[in-house]
Amino acid sequence: MALASRSSAFIVWNSNRINNKSLGLLCVVPLLDACGVQQIDDILAERGVTDCPSSIGESSVEPDRSTNADASTSTSMGAMSGSGTSSTSGEPSSSTSGSDSTGPLPPVCGDGVIEGDETCDDGNDIPADGCQECARDSIVFVSSEVYQGYALGGLYGADQRCRSLAAKAGLDRFLTYKAWLSTPAMSAADRLVHSRGRYMLVNGLVVAQNWDALTSGTLENPIMVDEHSQSQDSAVWTGTLASGQPAVGSEFCEDWDDDSGLLKFAGTGFSTSVDATWSFFEQGGCGSELRLYCVEQQGT
């Protein structure tokens, strides 16, 4: 090297660590050659320098590997980082997969265990045994008593009348009964449970296979049997279409609870019908004395 031949300088590489990095530090002891000193100064300006050790013997002459080491470390960390990123963006880990499957399982109809929204579960698919699609049969009857439309006491009063009749007749779950009755603000479809089970008369005849069948406009048997299993051929207060929605044009006897409704009209059905007129046949004067349809509610 020209520098070595023209200059009497000792170039020592120090492997001391500063700021947790391995830096190749060049310590120089210049002598007399001005040209050589200048070239060394150029190198110092390029590479940097620290104080030299007190004697040449305390230094260790060693090639600068800091650049390679740093590159190697950077490459290694990059590979590790890349690997981690790949894992994150790839398929989900087993712990993530496991969390998706946690939580309560939905009820299984037919396993013999009543859970969730089931009201029965007899472990079979025989509907005639009183449990269909894990829903009990619901009793429906026409009231044995008659009431003036404007004096029912509103929807709540009508429901209480159904419950009283069911209790006196010794029907199970009598506190769950509600009247098939609507107001402009509250339809029978919104008030009543939409059961998957059958709707039955007290005498065991099927009225409808489920809520959808009950509101389809066609019944299997008319709702003309009262809570005592006696036949009643009569008009019935409903204010309701066969679909369960409020009857259009009905005055609802002022929501079935006002003397001012005495001279008004409300929708009525007919107990012997199996078509849509079972629920809405015509408008009746609110002072008339008519019956109510009462329906057992499941899951309440």
Distance, CA of 251 to CA of 292 (rounded, Å) = 17
Residue 281 tokens, joined: 């046949």
Q: What is the pLDDT of residue 117?
A: 73
Residue 68 tokens, joined: 């390679």
State the alpha helices, DSSP H only, in the chain.
Answer: 2-6, 34-47, 66-89, 94-100, 154-168, 188-191, 211-214, 252-256
User: Pick from 234, 219, 229, 239: which is nearest to 282 by CA?
Assistant: 239
Q: What is the pLDDT of residue 243?
A: 98
Count Cα neighbours of 121 within 13 Å in the Cβ-side half-sphere: 12
Q: What is the pLDDT of residue 121?
A: 66
Residue 198 tokens, joined: 């059958």
pLDDT tens for the chain, 300 residues: list them: 343 333 333 333 333 333 433 333 333 333 434 454 465 556 545 555 444 444 333 444 344 444 444 434 444 443 333 433 333 344 444 444 444 556 677 777 766 677 677 767 666 777 677 787 778 899 999 999 999 999 999 999 999 999 999 999 999 999 999 999 999 999 999 999 999 899 999 999 999 999 999 999 999 999 999 999 999 999 999 999 999 999 988 899 999 998 877 889 999 999 999 999 999 999 999 999 999 999 999 876
Q: What is the pLDDT of residue 107?
A: 75
Residue at 9: amino acid letter: A
Distance, CA of 5 to CA of 3 (rounded, Å) = 6
With H, G, I as helix, E, B as strand and everything else as coil, classify residue 267. strand
Q: What is the pLDDT of residue 263?
A: 86
Q: What is the pLDDT of residue 112?
A: 67
Q: What is the pLDDT of residue 96?
A: 42
Q: Please, which residues have CB within 8 angstroms of residue 159's CB and are 6 or more apart in sequence? A: 177, 178, 179
Q: What is the pLDDT of residue 289?
A: 97
Q: Going from the N-terminus, what domains does the chain have, and what CATH number goes with each?
A: 2-77 (no CATH), 106-136 (no CATH), 137-295 (3.10.100.10)
Q: What is the pLDDT of residue 110?
A: 62
Whether the Cβ atoms of residue 165 and residue 232 lie closer than 8 Å to each other? no
